[in-house]
Amino acid sequence: MSDVYLARDVRLGRRVALKVIGRQSFSSPAAVESFLREAELTASFNHRHIVTVYAAGELQGSPYLALEFLDGETLRQRLEREALPRTEALHHALAISEALAEAHSRGVLHLDLKAENVMIPWDGRLRVLDFGVACRISDDQQAIEPASVSSATANPGPMGTFPSGLRGTPSYMAPELWLAEPATSASDVWALGTLIYELVSGRRPFRARSIWELGRQVIAAEHAPLL
């Protein structure tokens, strides 16, 4: 949805990650709304494990977001390089949990927590990124916006289809998201549990040959195999 550039703040002399909505998304009102929501929600945080927003604005009708530049690797890249020592895995799990707790305390669901959206800079202080599909929580702890815009049946049909418009990344989606039900803070906790499982074991709890098989596994009554 966006293009990200390494840029320099000429006034303060620091490097920034300049996120600009992509040309392919600019004509989509939903994409622009998602981009602006990410800017608003990310800017509301001031936490050591959540990426910092320096500025947001618009240039020639195109919204942009200036974020702190994090020189390092994603958690996905770290996992693909080698298995994590148990102490490092637990260190990362604690940092991600603290970031998620901060978001929830401010009434925000991330809804796309995964290894690709966690950055490990060379300074070692992990940051959670990308609140592009995030939304606010209502007083009853449900997402103000529905987790899915689909009105299709939640059960897989003969062709194995699930509702379209589901939000998030399938491997980390909670059962209620597969069922097109409203997201809650528990939806993020499910993703966190999946990520911690992956940190400790080096693999995800559910493995399937297709997205339809994955959905069936997640919504089934049986739990994932223990480590």
Measured CA distances, 213 to 12, 64, 75, 206 (Å): 51, 38, 26, 10
**192 neighbors 96 (Cβ within 8 angstroms):** yes
**106 neighbors 136 (Cβ within 8 angstroms):** no
Q: Three-class SS of residue 120?
A: strand
Q: Is 112 a catalytic residue?
A: yes
Give the dihedral of Cα atoms 192, 196, 202, 208; nearest 10 deg.
Answer: -40
**92 neighbors 124 (Cβ within 8 angstroms):** no
Strand partners, 6: 17
Measured CA distances, 173 to 78, 108, 180, 187 (Å): 22, 17, 11, 7
Q: Three-class SS of residue 145?
A: coil
Dump the DSSP string for 11-66: TTTEEEEEEEE-HHHHT-HHHHHHHHHHHHHHHT---TTBPPEEEEEEETTEEEEE
Instruction: Give the Cα separation of 218 and 222 in Å (integer).
Output: 9
From 3, 9, 71, 112, the catalytic residue: 112
Quick one: 187 exposed, middle or buried, by C-beta within 10 A (0-12, 13-18, 19+)?
buried
Catalytic residues: 112
